[in-house]
Amino acid sequence: MNLSRRRLFQTGLAGSLASMLPVSAASVGASSPVRARGIIFMVSDGMSSGVLPMSEAFSQQLRKRPTAWWQLLSGPATVHGLMDTASSDSLVTDSAAASSAWSSGQRIPNSQVNISDKGRELESIGATLRTQNVRLGLVTTSKVTHATPAGFAANSVDRNDEDHIAPQYLDRAELVLGGGSKFFDAAKRGDRRDLFAEYRKAGYEVLRHRDELLASNSPKLLGTFASDHLPYSIDRAADPKLAKKVPTLAEMTRAALDRFLASDKPFLLQVEGARIDHAAHANDIGALLHDQLAFDDALAEVIAMTAAHPEILVVITSDHGNANPALNGTGAAYRRTNEHFERIARARASHEAILASWKSKPGDTSDLVALIEKSLGFTPEKEEASALLDTLAGREFAEWSHQLSNPPGLLGQISGNHTGTGWTGVSHTADPTVISSFGPGSAAFSGLVRNDQVRDKLLETLGV
Ligand SMILES: [Zn+2]
C-alpha cells in the first residue's frame, strides 16, 4: 500500500474505513465470478462470539472508532455464517485438529496435525497448493510452528513436536512470520540442525528484528521475532524494547500482502491472531481485548490493501470458542455495567506478566493488592487478594468449579468482580464461531459451515 493511503487509513477516521468497505465488498457481491486470484484467511484464534461486541465497545472507548469486523457485520455486501468446529474425537476441538480440518478436509483427533484417526498422513492445503504453484504465506503472533499455521502446511502426530514441524515450511510457505525462533536455531534444537542456514540456502531472508522486516525487499521471508510466542499486545505496548524488536500483526500482514499483491500469481495467506486464545485460557480480559484490537488492525490493513483488488477473497473467522467471555450487567438496573467495563482500559499488563512478576518476587497480601492495582487499575478486596495468595501457594480455597479453581481462573473472577466480565472456564468450548467473508467465492461461506468443508471451498475458489 502506498504511504498516502496507509496514512489516510491510520488516521483512524471511521469515515475513511467506511469509504473503503463498499469498494472491496460491494464490488464483489454475489454476481462476481466465483474464482479468486488470492485468498486471505484470517483467524482470531479461540475467539468466542462475545468477544466481537466487547472489542467494539473497547475500541469505541479507547480509540473513538469502530472495529473493522463490526463494520463488516453491519455492511450489506459481506457474507456471514457460523462455523461448526468439532474435531473427530471431541465436540470441543483444539487448534491443531481445527486447522487440519480446514486444510485437509477431514476432521481428525485433537493434538494431531494432518494425521487421520487411522494414523494416515493427510495432504495439507499447503502441500496441494505447492503442486499448483499457488504461493502460501503464514503470519501469526504465536510460534510459527504452532498448531494453526502448522495445520496449513505440515504433518505431525504430535502438535507439540515443533522441531519436526519447523523444517516442513521449506519451499511450501514462501512467507513465514511470527515467533518461535528456538525451533530453527541449531543451539536450541534437539537434533542441532541449523534451520536458519537451511532456509537461507533455499532463498529465504531470515529476519529476527522488526527493523529488518520493515527494511526488507526480499520475496521469501522467514521472520521469527521471539524465541517463543510473540508478546501480548498489552505487554508489548508497555515495554519500549519489545515494541522496537517485535512487529505488530498488522505490520507482518502488510509485509506479506505487499509481496503477494505485487504480482498476479495466485496465493493463500493465513493470518492468525493467536494470543486471543491464550488470553482466554488465562481469563485475562485486558490482554484479550488488546490482542483482538491488534487482530482488527490487521483486518483493517487487509481491507485497505485489497480495496483495489476485487479478485481477492477475504475470510475472517475463529477455530473455536474459548472460555466464552461476556459482559455481565452490574448494578441496579445494570446501570453500573458501563462504568465497570470501562475499567478494563486501565490494565497495563497481562495476567501472565503479573503472575510471572509475582513468582519472581512474592510478598504478602498488601503487596499483591498493590501489584494488581498497578497492573490492572482496580483495587482488589483484601479477601480476594488473600484467596489468590492461597491458590498461588497451592493451598485449597472454596471454589466449586474445577475449571476455575486455579490462579488464572481466580484472577479472572476477581477481575470480573471489578469489570463485569465473566468466563465459563479456562478451556475451549463447543460454540460455533462467526465467519465473515467478502470477495469472489464468499457466498460459499454463508450459513452453517463445517470446518472440514473449508478446504474444498478454498481450492474451488482458487480454481485448483
Ligand atoms: Zn487454546
Strands, sheet with 205-207, edge to edge from the N-terminal-most edge strand: 205-207, 221-224, 175-179, 135-143, 267-273, 38-44, 312-317, 433-438, 79-84, 447-450
Neighbours of ion ligand 1 (CB under 5 A): 46, 277
Tens digit of each residue's pLDDT (9 = 90 or more) over 266-311: 999 999 999 999 999 999 999 999 999 999 999 999 999 999 999 9
Q: Is residue 227 part of a domain?
A: yes
Tell me what the mean pLDDT of segment 382-390 comes to.
93
Question: Do residue 65 and residue 154 come from a single domain?
Answer: yes
| 3 state SS of 99 | helix
Q: Is residue 333 part of a domain?
A: no
Task: Report CA(73)–ligand 1 centroid distance (Å).
Answer: 25
Task: Report CA(12)–ligand 1 centroid distance (Å).
Answer: 31
Which has the minimum average pLDDT: 28-37, 91-100, 310-319? 28-37
Torsion of CA 116, 122, 126, 132, to 10 degrees: -150
Task: Report CA(309)–ligand 1 centroid distance (Å).
Answer: 33
Tens digit of each residue's pLDDT (9 = 90 or more) over 348-385: 999 999 999 999 999 999 999 999 999 999 999 999 99
**pLDDT beyond 60 at 4:** no
Task: Report CA(415)–ligand 1 centroid distance (Å).
Answer: 21
Contact of 207 with 266, CB cutoff 8 Å: no
Confidence of residue 21 (pLDDT cuts 50, 70, 90): low
**pLDDT beyond 70 at 316:** yes
Task: Report CA(324)–ligand 1 centroid distance (Å).
Answer: 12
Rounded to the nearest integer, the mean pLDDT of the chain is 93
Task: Report CA(95)–ligand 1 centroid distance (Å).
Answer: 6
Question: Do residue 91 and residue 192 come from a single domain?
Answer: yes
Contact of 218 with 177, CB cutoff 8 Å: no
The three cell numbers of residue 263 are 504480482
- Side-chain half-sphere CA neighbours of 168 within 13 A: 23
Residue with cell 502506498: 2
Contact of 345 with 58, CB cutoff 8 Å: yes
Question: Do residue 8 and residue 150 come from a single domain?
Answer: yes
Confidence of residue 5 (pLDDT cuts 50, 70, 90): very low
C-alpha separations of 387 from 240, 285, 407 in Å? 34, 20, 10
Confidence of residue 206 (pLDDT cuts 50, 70, 90): very high
pLDDT at 424: 96
The residue type at 37: R
Q: Is residue 386 part of a domain?
A: yes
Question: Do residue 255 and residue 290 come from a single domain?
Answer: yes
pLDDT at 34: 84
Q: Is residue 332 part of a domain?
A: no
Q: Is residue 244 part of a domain?
A: yes
Question: Do residue 418 and residue 434 come from a single domain?
Answer: no
Question: Do residue 312 and residue 436 come from a single domain?
Answer: yes
Task: Report CA(447)–ligand 1 centroid distance (Å).
Answer: 25
Task: Report CA(274)–ligand 1 centroid distance (Å).
Answer: 9
Burial per residue of 247-256, b for 16 or more beta-carbon CB atoms within 10 angstroms, e otherwise: bbbbbbbbbb
By percentage, how much of the chain surpasses pLDDT 90? Answer: 88
Q: Is residue 341 part of a domain?
A: no
Question: Do residue 301 and residue 402 come from a single domain?
Answer: no
Task: Report CA(292)–ligand 1 centroid distance (Å).
Answer: 15
Question: Do residue 402 and residue 444 come from a single domain?
Answer: no
Tens digit of each residue's pLDDT (9 = 90 or more) over 325-356: 999 999 999 999 999 999 999 999 999 999 99
**pLDDT beyond 90 at 77:** no
Tens digit of each residue's pLDDT (9 = 90 or more) over 36-73: 999 999 999 999 999 999 999 999 999 999 999 999 99
By percentage, how much of the chain surpasses pLDDT 70? Answer: 93
Residue with cell 483495489: 308
Tally of domains within the chain = 2
Quick one: which of 430, 369, 444 has its CA closest to 90?
430
List of long-range contacts for 156-165, beta carbons under 8 Å, 24+ apart: 156/112, 156/113, 156/114, 156/115, 157/112, 157/115, 157/119, 158/111, 158/112, 159/94, 159/95, 159/96, 159/111, 159/112, 159/113, 160/111, 163/189, 163/190, 163/191, 165/113
Quick one: which of 107, 78, 35, 138 has its CA closest to 458?
35
pLDDT at 17: 54
Task: Report CA(113)–ligand 1 centroid distance (Å).
Answer: 15
Domain of 366, in residue numbers:
352-422
List the CATH number of the domain containing 37: 3.40.720.10
**pLDDT beyond 70 at 19:** no
Pairing relationship of beta strands 326-327 and 421-422 according to DSSP bridges: antiparallel
Question: Do residue 244 and residue 155 come from a single domain?
Answer: yes
Among 407, 422, 437, where does a domain finish? 422
The three cell numbers of residue 1 are 500500500
pLDDT at 30: 46
pLDDT at 124: 98
Q: Is residue 312 part of a domain?
A: yes
Question: Do residue 444 and residue 408 come from a single domain?
Answer: no
Confidence of residue 229 (pLDDT cuts 50, 70, 90): very high
Question: Do residue 457 and residue 415 come from a single domain?
Answer: no
Confidence of residue 395 (pLDDT cuts 50, 70, 90): confident
| 3 state SS of 379 | coil
Tens digit of each residue's pLDDT (9 = 90 or more) over 99-145: 999 999 999 999 999 999 999 999 999 999 999 999 999 999 999 99
Torsion of CA 174, 179, 180, 185, to 10 degrees: 70
pLDDT at 1: 36
Quick one: which of 296, 290, 336, 317 has its CA closest to 98?
317
Task: Report CA(150)–ligand 1 centroid distance (Å).
Answer: 14
pLDDT at 20: 55
Residue with cell 521471508: 221
What are residue 312's phi and psi, to 5 degrees? -110, 130
Task: Report CA(277)–ligand 1 centroid distance (Å).
Answer: 5
DSSP secondary structure letters along 166-192: GGGGTTT-SEEEEE-GGGT-TTTSTT-
For residue 322, the cross-strand partners are 428
Q: Is residue 329 part of a domain?
A: no
Task: Report CA(331)–ligand 1 centroid distance (Å).
Answer: 32
Confidence of residue 397 (pLDDT cuts 50, 70, 90): confident
**pLDDT beyond 70 at 33:** no
Task: Report CA(319)–ligand 1 centroid distance (Å).
Answer: 9
Enclosing H/E stretch for 346: none
Enclosing H/E stretch for 322: strand 321-322
The C-alpha angle with vertex 344 and arms to 342 and 347, in degrees rounded to 5, equals 135
The residue type at 147: A
Question: Do residue 404 and residue 296 come from a single domain?
Answer: no
